Structure 1
Amino acid sequence: MLRYARSGLPRVRARLSYALHTMKKKLFYRGPEPSHGMRPIPWRSKRSLRGSMVALLPGFARPRIIKFESNLEYLFLCLMLVRDDVFCIQEQPAAIHYLDTDGKSAKHNFDFLVTLFQSCPHS
């Protein structure tokens, strides 16, 4: 009996090795997508709240990290995530270029771009 158990051990190891290889290929767990923000958020600040949260919205292929850099942005993000009509949220979208009152070129970065179901092209 002991002899049979020892002789079957390489077969068990081979099956286990194959199973582990297959599991790694299938990836049981896929982490969230990284942030899609166009402007990086500096993480160190003595005066404001910096952070991120993972969210899954209908416009996302899979869960995604959404970053915020103030308490107001955090509260706004929480309010947007509980709404039923929000299709997608992008933090720190591309800067908007414009001419200021003196005629000089300027740019502004909005904190969030929120797409609602009634305004999205996919609905």
Structure 2
Amino acid sequence: MINRAAESYRQDGMRRAYLLGPSHGTPAERVARFRPAFDALTSAGFAVTAPAVSQPAACESADHLLSVMDDDLDALAAADVVVTLPGSDRLWEIAIADALGVPVVSFADCLAERACA
């Protein structure tokens, strides 16, 4: 399923960024933490996926959790780059991105060095 998703995500030709950061706090707190990076990446021409903001705060069942994880893996596999916010260094998505060959870049480096360009 991951490979099929990666192909479909790229049909529009846009570069894809998977924005990764800590998902603790209320939905409003998560939006406030992710919004500046989300907006900057969008302005730079990326289609941005930020699961910590778009996913529900809690899953209703094991099946729901598996569905959410499946969506996250599809988006991660389809990404051209994983952009990390502070506090992301121990999140599971980094290991998956490394295994898939998706570059992982901090948001600070992305801005300072144009590493995401």
TM-score above 0.5, yes or no: no
Structure possessing the higher radius of gyration over alpha carbons: 1
Normalised to the residue count of structure 2, the TM-score between the two structures is: 0.24
Structure with greater proportional strand content: 1
Q: TM-score, normalised by structure 1?
A: 0.23
Specify which structure has the higher proportion of helix: 2
